[in-house]
Amino acid sequence: MMPSGPIISVTLIGLLLLSALLYYRAVKIQRFLEPALAVSEPRIKFNQDINNLLTKEFGTTGSGIKFRRGSVLIDQSFLFSAAHEMDGSHPLILKKLGRFFLSVLGDQSLRERISLVLVSTNLPFTADTGLNRELRFQVQERTALILNSLFAAEPELEQKFGKYFAVTAVPVDASGGETNSIEFRMIPTERLHIDVLERLEKYSY
């Protein structure tokens, strides 16, 4: 029978080697995850701040309004069905939306990260070029009307931050694309990219 001393020594050496291997793997994983976190953290915080302001204004958002990947998405039926629910002389939903964007753009740390708020509705794109031109005009006109209504509901938004807003129509497949959403997309500035690069800088050595 082999003495217990050598067995214990071999076992301890094995445990030591296993610990060293696990530590080495943990360090490698950490070095991989840290840059990934550095890249995502500024955007995650930005999205959280925007989502908090949206929830503060609208409460728990349901199917009619939601925030996703830097965009506020509003179902057209949700917006226009609320047109009869008035707050003073303006639709309540537009009033709330105006206050939301006032809060967002009024926060300097958030405003520095937004170059443009692009208001868009979907354009059902067909094989008929003549129909497409007609629909494009109608959709763009409708989108501009939405933005003008937003400014009418909250005049301070246009006075202070009107230069941040633009309208467009986004072509989608008429046979399968969703055409009933109004999107307020917040286009990020270089500030977000600078934050990411600054966080990544320490990993370049």
Tens digits of per-residue pLDDT, 116-160? 999 998 887 778 888 878 888 888 888 898 899 899 999 999 999
Element (DSSP H or E) covering residue 9 = helix 4-58
Mean pLDDT across the stretch 167-192?
75
pLDDT, position 89: 39
CA distance 150 to 93: 9
3-state secondary structure 139-168: HHHHHHHHHHHHHHHCHHHHHHHHHHEEEE
d(CA 169, CA 120): 5
Q: What is the pLDDT of residues 91-109, one digit of tens each?
A: 788 888 999 999 999 999 8
pLDDT band at 165 (very low <50, low <70, confident <90, very high): very high
Question: Strand (E) positions, the chain?
Answer: 65-68, 71-75, 86-87, 90-91, 114-125, 165-173, 181-188
pTM greater than the 0.85 cutoff: no
CATH architecture of 41-197: 2-Layer Sandwich (3.30)
| pLDDT reading at 186 higher than 60 | yes
What token pair was written down for 81?
Answer: 């069905």
- Structural tokens at position 18: 């296993």
Tell me what the mean pLDDT of segment 104-115 comes to.
Answer: 91
What integer pLDDT is reported at residue 201 of this predicted model?
A: 53
How far CA 55 is from CA of 51, 97, 161, 184, in Å, comes to 6, 11, 21, 16
Pairing, β 71-75 against β 65-68: antiparallel
Q: What is the mean pLDDT of residues 60-72?
A: 74
> Average pLDDT of the chain?
75
Rg of the chain in Å (alpha carbons) = 26
What pLDDT, on the 0 to 100 scale, is given for residue 163? 94
The pLDDT tens digits for 173-183 are 766 555 578 89
Model pLDDT, residue 68: 80
pLDDT at 119: 93
**Domain range annotation of the chain:** 4-37, 41-197
- Sequence-separated (6 or more) residues with CB below 8 Å from residue 39: 196, 199, 200
pLDDT at 199 over 80: no
